[in-house]
A = this chain, B = another copy of it.
Amino acid sequence: MEPFALGRALSSVRESTPLVHCITNYVTVNDCANALLALGASPIMSNEPQDVEDITALCNALVLNIGTLNQQTIAAMQASAAKAEELQHPLVLDPVGAGASHLRTRTASDLLDGYSISILRGNMSEVKALAGASATTRGVDADPSDAVTEENLSVSAAFAQKLAARTGAVVAITGAIDVVADASRAFAIRNGCALMGRITGTGCMLSALLGAFAGARPDVPLEAALAAVAAMGVAGEQAAARMTAVDGSGSFRVYLMDALFNLSAAVLEEHAKVSRI
């Protein structure tokens, strides 16, 4: 991936202001909306089955996040996914907590199997649960034993590529090292910082941003995914650089949003650490 492709993708978001329909959890929904606005996209949230088809039809991309799923939102996700597929809109799936409950694993699997998912993003525990691999999980966080490391990077990449080949989705497995793959190529992204795990919503925000990038660049989902993952990671680094001794996770959350707002194509290209695996 040429570095300038990342900056170009960011510029596309800023220029086209994609509308992103999110059916998401009630914990981080405000962060998702603000992250989309900070980046230059425009959020719409709707999760009533009778409302979602109209809203999906208006938008450029759909993001499904099962973080606090319920029977109503599951029905809404199914209806929206069908509409997005009909209109050939990019569809991002965030299987929050897959593996942590039967309902989450089944719901995410049904969505992954039933619709054309453009980008699947989760931590390794969640993605393993969807792949049918034996997975442990620690709630909505990855099990430490599932961490992507320098040692298991090529195995992780092969796993992601295999799942991408089976599902047709770009697979983004995020953690200390992020792995992004389609059926034929896999990349590692080495951006971000540990503080991102000390606030809620960095994963959810990234999934929302994946919707924005995919909405702006629907023809190249791998490039869109790499740009989104790198943008989030670079923004996290910029936020961490502002931290003072009295600052904590509250300030970091504010700085992260500021960094997304101020992120330029040039800074993204300069700081992104994306490499082919």
Q: Which residues of A contact B (CB under 8 A)?
A: 19, 25-31, 33-34, 37-38, 42-48, 50-51, 54-55, 58-59, 67-72, 97, 100-104, 137-141, 198-201, 242, 246-251, 253-262
Contacts and interface: CB of A to CB of B under 8 A. Distances in A.
Contacts of A30: 27-28, 30-31, 200-201
Contacts of A71: 48, 50, 72
Contact of A251 (B26, B37, B258): B258
Q: Which A-B residue pairs are the 6 nearest by beta carbons? A: A250-B257, A248-B261, A248-B258, A54-B101, A33-B200, A48-B70
Nearest to A238: B246
Number of copies: 3
A97 B96 CA distance: 28
Contacts of A69: 48, 51
A19 B257 contact: no
A262 B242 CA distance: 16
Contact of A45 (B27, B250, B258): B27
A139 B51 CA distance: 12
Given A59-B139, A251-B258, 6 more contacts: A26-B45, A34-B250, A50-B71, A51-B70, A51-B103, A248-B258
A248 B248 CA distance: 18
A249 B253 contact: no
Given A27-B33, A246-B258, A44 B201 contact: no
A46 B42 CA distance: 27
A255 B253 CA distance: 11
Nearest to A242: B246
Given A27-B30, A249-B37, A103 B50 contact: yes
A216 to B, nearest CB: 16
A38 B70 contact: no
A68 B45 contact: yes
B34 A249 contact: yes
A150 B134 CA distance: 58
A41 to B, nearest CB: 11
Contacts of A101: 46, 51, 54-55
B262 A246 contact: yes
A54 B141 CA distance: 15
A67 B33 CA distance: 13
A253 B34 contact: yes
Contact of A54 (B102, B248, B262): B102
